[in-house]
A and B are shown apart, each in its own frame.
Chain A
Amino acid sequence: MKGTVTSRITWTWALLSALTMVSWALAATRRFTPSTAVTIVVLAIAAVKTRTVIRQFMEVRVAPRWLRRATDAWLAVLMAAIIGLYLW
């Protein structure tokens, strides 16, 4: 039982670290020019990472429904606002 719990944690961490490296590489290749594509991708990756931390590490995945909804709503509103403000 404990084995599956700890391996889930470690896999989650590995995924999050890999996504971080991807964003890092992407941003490094576009250091000096504005780029909508890069921005959307890094924001999307950030959203995925954030939701993963919330669901897996914070265990909201197995939490009451109101908490799942509240955290998802927070992320959705925030990302919509950020992307919206970026595009306009």
Chain B
Amino acid sequence: MTAEARSRPADAPAQRTPALPGDAGMWVFVLGDMVIFGVYFIVFMVYRGHEQAVFLASQRHLSLASGAVNTLVLLAGSRFAALAVAAARAGDDRRASRLIGWCGICGVAFLLVKAREWYSLVSAGRTVTRNNFYMFYYAFTGVHLFHVLMGLVVLGVMLAELRRPAGRRTWLIEAGAIYWHMVDLLWIILFALLYLMR
């Protein structure tokens, strides 16, 4: 299935259907995950509508700086991932590996900032059962964190692929990068909903 998705011949001889970047399976996952998170976001907004004051009051205790720094960190990671794909396509495996490494460092930085943020919130007694806002905050940032962890595994798979001497699958590098961009964009929306909106 992935083979036909990767090298799509023209529908009609005269026009070319653009090829799907990456891998069709990864797009199934990414689009599905976006819908799953979409439902999360909408449920959040429904509950927020019932308790605006509580949500606003609780939001003030979030570290806006941590949220913003994490957003910038993931954006940097996405840039490294995109550059890695470009390098892999140009055949420059060493550069691609280095860039993937940098993306991984961004991922780890995100985890550390997030951990510190959770630690200071929990120490202040703002735990998951405190109120609905914190319930959503921990649940969503937790699921997102799981995605970042999976992302590190994906980077490892990409690195392993670049080490293969022959028959290297560029689509796998592309698919891994697409996954990272998804992690990035989900956080962009989470950042807006949890930290920014008033």
Chain A–chain B contact at Cβ < 8 A: yes
Partner of A63, one of B20, B78, B184, B185: B20
- Top 5 A-B residue pairs of the complex, sorted by shortest distance between their CB atoms: A85-B45, A46-B192, A13-B79, A24-B68, A42-B196
Q: What total count of A-B pairs have CB within 8 Å?
A: 133
Knowing A32-B60, A46-B191, A74-B38 are in contact, say whether A58-B46 is a contact too (CB < 8 A): no
Interface of A toward B, CB cutoff 8 Å: 2, 5-6, 9-10, 12-13, 16-17, 20-21, 23-24, 26-28, 30-36, 38-39, 42-43, 45-46, 49-50, 53-54, 56-60, 62-64, 67, 70-71, 74, 77-78, 81-82, 85-86, 88
Q: Kindly state the separation between the CA atoms of A76 and B90 in the bound complex, as whole angstroms.
A: 35
The yes or no answer to B158 lying at the interface (CB within 8 A) is no
Partner of B198, one of A6, A27, A58, A88: A27
Complex contacts, B38 vs chain A, CB 8 Å: 74, 77-78
Knowing A10-B79, A28-B64, A82-B41 are in contact, say whether A46-B90 is a contact too (CB < 8 A): no
Q: Is the interface of B mostly helix, strand, loop or mixed?
A: helix
Q: Kindly state the separation between the CA atoms of A45 and B192 in the bound complex, as whole angstroms.
A: 9
Chain A interface: which of B27-35, B109-117, B127-135, B142-150?
B27-35
Say whether B60 contacts A70, CB under 8 Å: no
For B81, give the chain A residue with the smallest CB separation: A57
Q: Is the interface of A mostly helix, strand, loop or mixed?
A: helix
Say whether A63 contacts B72, CB under 8 Å: no
Interface of B toward A, CB cutoff 8 Å: 8, 17-21, 27, 31, 34-35, 38, 41-42, 45-46, 48-49, 52, 56, 60, 64-65, 68, 71-72, 75-76, 78-79, 81-83, 86, 90, 177-178, 181-182, 184-185, 188-189, 191-193, 195-198
Complex contacts, B18 vs chain A, CB 8 Å: 62-64
Q: Counting chain A CB atoms within 10 Å of each CB, which of B8, B178, B189 scores highest?
A: B189
